[in-house]
Amino acid sequence: MTASQEESLQKMAESMFALAKMAWRQRLAARQRDEEELSESQFLTLDLLISCDKPQTVGDVIRAIHVAPAQMSRVIRSLENDFAGPLIRCELNQRDKRKIDVHLTAAGRNAYEQFRDARLRRSREILAGLSERDRIDFVRICGQMRKLYARAEQGGQDKSPPPT
């Protein structure tokens, strides 16, 4: 890799990191305004349950969202107890009594949708400042980034550029 390419990658990484920090600050501000704001781990747990459309074991959730078992215990307890109503329900797995199944409740689906809608609404407000051409490029680049992140999550270390 040339020095110019290395410098370009560094600038891109710094830009992504700066955007992430801005998003974190906005999330912290939202949490201070709203006691029922979901944490990242809580949201990802609900997201998994919605995307699978069936109960998942606690172990499945741990593997899918990459958290430690102790952290998952706190997330489970908070989703059961820290909101106006339980967002999840836990039961012994009927096939293997050593496992716990996590079920999404109607309140959990509603909390997920409200959280997601609020984040999307805020993103739309911010992205409205981009030109149509920049929006098209942004969506294209984000699609490529998702593929690269998915490849990295699966352990692929392919350094070749993504297809355009």
What are the two backbone dihedrals, phi and then psi, of residue 59, each rounded to the nearest 5 degrees?
Answer: -60, -40
pLDDT tens digits, one per residue of 44-56: 999 999 999 889 9
Tokens for 96, please give them: 């293997």
Report the top-level CATH class of 36-129: mainly alpha
CA–CA gap between residue 113 and residue 109 (Å, rounded): 6
Domain boundaries, the chain: 36-129
pLDDT tens digits, one per residue of 57-116: 999 999 999 999 999 999 999 999 989 899 999 999 999 999 999 999 999 999 999 999
CA–CA gap between residue 111 and residue 37 (Å, rounded): 9
pLDDT tens digits, one per residue of 104-134: 999 999 999 999 998 899 889 989 999 999 9
Angle separating helix axes 69-81 and 40-52, nearest 10 degrees = 80
Q: Does residue 94 contact residue 88 with C-beta atoms inside 8 Å?
A: no
Q: What is the pTM of this model?
A: 0.79
